[in-house]
Structure 1
Amino acid sequence: MRIGLFGTGRVATALAPALVAAGHELAFVAGRTHTSVLALAALAPGCAALVLPLTQLPPADVYLLAVPEAAVPELLAAVAWPTGALVAHLAGALPVAVFAAAPQVHGGVLYPLQTFSPGRTIDWPAVPLFVEAPELAAETTLLALARSLSLHVAQLDSAQRLHLHLGAVFASNFTNHVLGISHQLLAEAKLDFNLLAPLVRETVDKALSAHLGPFAVQTGPAARHDAPTLAAHAAALAAHPAWQALYTQLTLSIQAAEAARVARPASPA
């Protein structure tokens, strides 16, 4: 397919070479700064580097909006889209209904469930891709595009995708923040953060493989109501009141989840 790519951030930078590797033609990259679009366009032979706003849009089979969610409505309003163009955003929490503001286009969603960071190589065949489009022709095209990139493609409506994105924020972004707290606490004690690596890997592996879900394999002082340890930890966090409050809230949440799990009736044999 001939693809027009809007955006020069983390997602666009990971997606552009993947599209080329999958055999697609990257017609152009469009962004706000000349330097960033030049750098990304250089990854694809013959790719044009366009700076927003655009007075004329080159033809493409699919226009992909790899921009922050808040920028999608603005972009839809600012670009003179060809009538009948297929335009898809890549956002997790943005409903497909956002395209109602641009009735001249066929709107859709191509959502990659992955975290993107500079310098990290993405294994695109392993990335789950979720497609949504109100019209059959747009859906068919986006499914074909998704399947050229990934071995894990599914259709998901906006409500399901919002819940998936919310779960992903807890699983990835919040987990990363908590690991950041761990990193700083160990650094303050002059301890190597890599000491936690085996524990973190086992925790994730166990949570992903737990038959009854991660709550069923919860361990630690909160789950066992170890009051002396909980008090010692709270005292050790005195210099970090925000983290101390977070520790308390997570402890209460763990204990509530554990109480609900224990009280849940056993499934019949």
Structure 2
Amino acid sequence: MKISFVGSGNVAWHLSQAMEEAGHWICEVYSRNTQNARKLAAELYDANIQPDLNFADSIADVIVLAVSDDALDQVIQQIVFPENVIVVHTSGTRSLAEFQKLIEIYSDVFVHTGIFYPLQSFSKGFPIDYKELPLCVESKNELIENKLISLAQSISDNVTRMDSHERFVLHVSAVFANNFTNYLIGVSHDLISREQLNFDLLKPLIQTTIDKAFHSEEPTEVQTGPARRGDWATINRHMEYLQETNPEWTAIYRLLTDKIRELYIAK
């Protein structure tokens, strides 16, 4: 397939290279920041830098809108599509119906719409095993959906047809599993670094925690720690220390402790 990308952030950076490795031609890259478009194009074999959002003469079979949710509306209002192209976005939360409505309002030509959502935390410079990358695909048109499934399967062995509500729930779950977890690991890093201790000391514990959760049918069954045990003397000492160190961390500690206690009292 011939594929064009709108956006040059982390998602575009990884998806475009994964598609190219699978044998597709990334023919165009557009970014509001031309320098970022040049950097991404330099990683690809034969991608042209698209100077603006006028794709009317594009030869692409698929145009991927790999932009943030906040930027998606503005991009759709400005972009000019070639007729009958397949246009997909990569968002975990924006519904297909909402996306299709925006396209119908602002596009002067008929285009096919779909969702091509990669469930992963992407960062430039951090390699991804694309064969294991979960890809969630949706389109109202069965023929178009099958084409997107085929595109996804050329990249990954982990492809799922998923409607907008299911994808939304998946995204909310991913925020808890990834974003909040990473934030808490960041707090741990800051705490231990304040006392000039080595963060590497925590890495085996973090790895074991993840491994146990993965290998348990019910992650709550392998919960440990003072909140799980109801060790209030330890909890109070922790909160006293946190109150002196960073009161915001105290509030987080108290909230999570209360929620863990509520869970196991209920059980």
TM-score by length of 2: 0.94
Superposed, which structure 2 residues align to 1:175-186 within 5 Å?
A: 175-186=181-192
Q: Which residue is equivalent to 1:199?
A: 205
Corresponding residue for 1:22? 22
Q: How does 1:27-106 map to 2 (within 5 A)?
A: 27-54=27-54, 56-97=56-97, 98-103=99-104, 104-106=110-112
Q: Which moved more, 1:26-35 or 1:95-104?
A: 95-104
Q: Which amino acid aligns with 1:220?
A: G
User: Where is the helix percentage greater, Structure 1 or Structure 2?
Assistant: 2
> Residues of 2 paired with 1:118 and 1:4: CA distance?
19
3-state SS in 2 of match to 1:259? helix
Residue 173 of structure 1 corresponds to 179
Tell whether 2:146 aligns with 1:140. Answer: yes
The match for 2:253 is: 247
Matches within 5 A, 1:199-218: 199-211=205-217, 213-218=218-223
Query: What is aligned with 1:108?
Result: 114
Aligned residue in 2 for 1:226 = 231
Give the AA of the match of 2:232. A
Distance 1:100 1:66 in 2: 18
Q: Deviations over 1:100-139 (max 9, x none)?
A: 1212321111111110112101111011111011111210
Provide the secondary structure at the position in 1 that maps to 2:60.
coil
User: Deviations 1:23-68 (Å, cap 9, x if unpaired)?
Assistant: 0011101111221111111222221101334374412111111111
Deviation (angstroms), 1:83:
2.6
Amino acid in the other structure paired with 1:218 = Q
Paired with 2:156 and 2:233, the residues of 1 have a C-alpha distance of 49
Quote the Cα distance in structure 2 between the aligned partners of 1:209 and 1:105.
44
Q: Is the 8 A contact 2:58 2:82 kept in 1?
A: no
Of residues 130, 134, 146, the one that matches 1:128 is 134
Distance in 2 (CA, whole Å) between partners of 1:55 and 1:197 is: 47
| Aligned-CA RMSD value | 1.2
Is 1:4 the counterpart of 2:22 in the alignment? Answer: no
**SS at the partner of 1:110?**
strand
Q: Which runs of 5+ in 2 are unaligned?
A: 105-109
Q: Is the 8 A contact 2:54 2:81 kept in 1?
A: no
- Identify the range of structure 1 (81-90 vs 161-170) with the bigger mean alpha-carbon deviation: 81-90
1:93/1:161 contact within 8 Å kept: yes
Whole-angstrom CA distance in 1 between matches of 2:262 and 2:83: 53
Mean Cα deviation higher: 173-182 or 13-22: 13-22
Alpha-carbon distance in 2 for matches of 1:170, 1:199: 19
Please say if residues 28 and 49 of structure 1, whose CA atoms lie closer than 8 Å, have aligned partners that are also in contact: yes
| Unmatched 5+ stretches in structure 1 | 263-269
> Given residue 42 of structure 1, which amino acid in structure 2 is its aligned partner?
A
Residues 76 and 199 of structure 1: CA distance in aligned 2, closer, same or farther (over 3 Å): same
Identity of aligned residues (%): 38
Under a length normalisation based on structure 1, what TM-score does the superposition of the two structures give? 0.93
For residue 83 of structure 1, what is the amino acid of its counterpart?
A: E
- Decide whether the 8 Å contact of 2:5 with 2:64 is kept in 1: yes
Q: C-alpha separation between the residues in 1 aligned to 2:57 and 2:259?
A: 51
Superposition deviation, residue 259 in structure 1:
2.4
